[in-house]
A = this chain, B = another copy of it.
Amino acid sequence: MNLDAMRATNRVFEEEVVAKGDFAALDRVYASDACILPPGAPMISGREAIRAYWKAAAAALQARALRLVTIEARQEGQAIIEIGRAEVDTTAGANALEIKYVVVWRQEGGLWRWQIDIWNANG
């Protein structure tokens, strides 16, 4: 497996996308054919729509920082299937939001990227 490569991609999401608000960096996180399945909205396909979603969601959540923690990951064929959790700091406080997720990863352009991304909140 490629836990180091996964961590590097997750760090782009944590540091560049959420902490700095650089939504163009999402192109180094998601595969070109990615889709996301966010709570409260239908499935969203393609990088342009995914960028628009995260820009709006980050503003709505007032997310300040986010940490992604891999709980379990295994390789199957060309994919890695990951179960994880996200701890989100918002203007309401540290760890104000606890999220769990499943991400299906695939390799593209030398990076491991998120191809399917679904999550929900614990509470």
Chain A residues with a Cβ under 8 A of chain B: 35, 37-43, 71, 75-79, 81, 83, 100-102, 104, 116, 118-123
Contact = CB atoms under 8 A, between A and B. Distances in A.
B120 A119 contact: yes
A102 B121 contact: no
Given A81-B116, A116-B83, A40 B76 contact: no
Oligomer copy total: 2
Contact of A78 (B42, B76, B118, B120): B76
19 contacts: A37-B101, A39-B120, A39-B121, A40-B120, A40-B121, A40-B122, A42-B122, A43-B71, A43-B100, A76-B76, A77-B77, A77-B79, A79-B79, A81-B81, A81-B104, A101-B118, A102-B102, A102-B118, A120-B120
Contacts of A78: 76
Contacts of A39: 39, 120-121
A94 B79 CA distance: 37
Contact of A81 (B79, B100, B121): B79
Given A39-B120, A120-B120, 6 more contacts: A37-B102, A38-B120, A42-B122, A75-B77, A77-B77, A119-B120
